[in-house]
Chain A
Amino acid sequence: MPKVRRSAWFLALASLCWLVLLLSTLSRGQPIAGLPANWPRWVLLLAQGGFAASVFMYARLQPEPLAGQNFIGLLRRLFLRGLGLTLGLGALVGIEQLTSHHTLALPGNTTTAVVYTVALALFMVFLAQTLYTWRSLVNFRGGAKLRREWVVFEVLLGLTLLLQLFSWHIPDGVRLGSGIVLGLFGIYLSGHQRWIAYLSLGEKWQAILLQLGVLGLTVFFLLYLRGAQTDPVLLVPATQSSFLVFNSFFATFYALAGLMITLFNLPVAKVFEERRAEIMSLQQLSQIIQRGQSTPEIYQILFNSAIQTSKADAGALLPPRGVVGSALPAPLLHHLAPADLDAITAVLVPTPGTNHLPEIVENDLHRSQRIKDLPGVYGSVAVLPLHNTAHDYGTLVLLSHEPFTFDSEVLSILHAFTAQTVLSFENLQLAQEALNNQRTQDELRIAALVQERLIPRQLPTDDWFEVATYAQAAKEVGGDFYDFLHLPGQKLAVLIGDVSGKGVTAAFHTAQMKGIFHALMQANPLAKKERDRYPDPHRFMVQANEALTHCLERSSFITAAFYLIDYQAGGFSFARAGHCHTLYYHSIQEEVSYFRTEGLGLGIIRNAGYEKHVKTQFWDYNPGDVMVIYTDGIVEARDGDGNEYGEERLRQMLETCFYQTAAEINEELRHDVQEFSRGQPLHDDQTLLVIKFKAAQPHA
């Protein structure tokens, strides 16, 4: 650490110089310790200059004394050190006084010379301390230019030391001129008192007292030295007065300037402090947004800041009205009785034509016509709603014992707070929405993918029936599904269904349903009778219900319809589990109607009791019959007025197109539903299957 070592050298040099100075002073008029009397003048001057320079260099190399913004600590340290030095001087002077009238008196001027030399040293140390304390204050928030100027000032001070040392002859005019320049430089530097702005009111008072103390100490030293120099006993030559004078001048002037500025600052200090607190609170609020803190924290900070800055005696922060699950479940209260709060909330009525509360400011509450039921201790009240055009975020209520507390200035600050708070909420909400959107989009993509894979790629074909399908997923993927299975012996199994819920969960249950369908429709090799090889629709539903019991959450259920069509028997059996009724065209009766059967959805009763709630129905079909199987997205499609498409319109549509091919019928029905709900968003998945039985055409 070269710096420490350098300062140690200066300390040693200072001690040496001081010793020479002492001896040289003592040698005036008397020989000491075997050395000749009256040492040459240059020795004394050199020792004195060397001492001053090394003390100042030592102080200059000390680490920066200002820690952060602890100005008072800095001043107090300077004052205490100065006080210590002054007490030391006082003690010496006391000893001198005592010994001068005493038999113990040392020969000649010894005592006075020692005291004077020590005092000079103490004063130098004090000045050096002061100068470098002022350096910290001058350079506080000063910038590089000011720091360079300070170095120039130091160099100039150093030059005054050298000038004195070599006793060059300098014309008086130049001397005076340069003196004035240096003085003005010191005054210019004394103008740099930025640190005062950072003091609180209490600190300003402390600063004033400490600076007065420092001034007093300087004056004490100067008075002593002035007296000592004219002391006939001492016979010292003129000290390097210009260095000391300029230093003392700067030390005094800087303290004086700081004192004055602090004094003039006092009356506005309070206002300044309040502004500072307001800025800090606003800053705090903004920082919270950046850190993405939670809504309750924003509420708490707004409330605290508003009460502090407005100097309200009581207050409340009310939750937004009519919002379930708000981040502020109960009002925040500050010295406010619930009954008094009720007196205020009773008059809070939304502005006509909007859903928002108006701002209410009553600065003369005793004469207010609007708010009457508040106790007399309150003089003014301000009610500030927190909202933007879309959302209500709550209401801030502030009460003061004094009338006219909420003047335009206080209100403008409070408005800044509320605006900032609303902004915070908006930002939080946007961030949350962005997150949710991303999540939802990911979910939708997965769900759409799953659903796409689950839809049969190839439709069954045979010469005894036609199948045509239409499926449209709503934006938020629902859980429609259907599947076909061609069974041996000219049988066709058809399953259609709708899983409640949306997104990934629904897609997952759809996949499960498909798995259940394929698992249950495996031929049972142990079956004795041909018709027992595959489960009948009733058994299918009961088994599916049981399988779902363990994997479906309690509020989810599945509607399904299952058909087992047997070409050879010329009929089909089916069961309906809460699914939409099947629409059917009977070619013999030439009639379109619904199979109105009973049957409970899957997953609603999760025990053996379900058996009783589902039935197998049988039907013999004829060539030309048409079966229309669909999900509720079809019949619940809405038009612009909110009317549903409905079973009846679907039935009537089939009456007009039953004679066409399955594909054409499917197209007609789909087209009509789309026409009906033209311009409306798709609320739910739509699935439409049309099966048309054809005249028997035996296999070749």
Chain B
Amino acid sequence: MTVVQYALLGSAMFAVGLYGVITRKNAVLILASVEVMLAAVNVNFVAFAVFLPDPRHAGQIFALFIIAIAAAEVGIGIAIILMIFRNRRSANVDELDMMRH
């Protein structure tokens, strides 16, 4: 197996996640798109951890850190979305323009 095939898969998933972050309106789905981007980064980290002769497996360790940070990010993100929904009755990010008026 070549390392480029994993890198290409990671690039494609990252680009797809970016497309989702830009086009989605619902806040929960934007978070889901961010998760796709983080998964793409994890694919790259683990592939290069196996590819490079690193006795410390730093790529796999960093993938574990990314998973932990992503879990924290989703927890806070969902809490903020719940708070906004309670006050505005909507999870649509286009309607969250109260700081503009």
Is chain B found bound to chain A in the same assembly?
no
B-binding residues in A (CB < 8 A): none
A-binding residues in B (CB < 8 A): none
